[in-house]
Amino acid sequence: MKPVLVFRHVAREPLGTIDGVFRRAGVAFQYVDLYHNPPREFHPELLAGLVVLGGPMNVDEQDRFPFLAPEIDWIRQAIAAQIPLLGICLGSQLIAAALGAPVRHNPTKEIGWYEVETTPAADSDPLLRHFAARETIFQWHGDTFDLPAGAEQLARSAICEQQAFRYGRQTWALQFHLEVTPEIIDCWIDDPDGCAELSKLDYIDPAQVRRDVPRRLPPMQRLADQVFGEFAALCQQRAGG
């Protein structure tokens, strides 16, 4: 059976709830820890899908993180091969870069719980059709991107115009973190890098972000199961092909 490959950029940003969705759907998956042991070759024709996770680095930090340049090329190959492809946060920015769109700093960082508004195109999208017109989703990012040529915008927010897009039939880029669990949120807030970042942002209260978890997370996780379930079904179809 063809597996789904998962590009991970740091240990603290795993699949989260996508892990359980894949397991329940019988989708085999394999982490590739780019920060530790990046592959020398990439063969999208042997894959059921590709997930590109988040990370604290920026797309343009290729001198510090040399795996980013080949990763962008691998993403281009995956798009060309038309395999199911899902990018989350940094993953969405890397997809945008692979499609030739500029990636830059957003004027304001989104960290915590923010309302995301879908576009009319989301109503018929295989994944985002499960979204209501407005959903409150967890975010942790400072960068954004322009909508790539030929892509269809699926969601926006008041602070960040590009929240989600689809390119072709099989590629999705999500700026937000629909996949997080309580443990992941705690890990990011408590991580030294996370603490350092939050200490510079007087408009974000990490204690309030934690207090909102019991109220905000359950409906988001129900939505995540639906959205990622659709992606898993696409991977399952390809795995059996």
Catalytically active residues, by annotation: 89, 177, 179
- Only one residue has tokens 């946060």, namely 89
The helices-and-strands tally (H runs, E runs) of the chain is 7, 9
Sheet of 4-8: strands edge to edge? 29-33, 4-8, 49-52, 85-88, 171-174, 164-167, 151-156, 103-118, 134-145
Q: Which residue type, as a one-letter code, is found at position 89?
A: C
- Only one residue has tokens 């920015």, namely 93
Q: Which residue type, as a one-letter code, is found at position 160?
A: C
Sequence-distant (≥ 6) Cβ neighbours of residue 214 within 8 angstroms: none
* Cα 163 from Cα 206, distance rounded (Å): 22
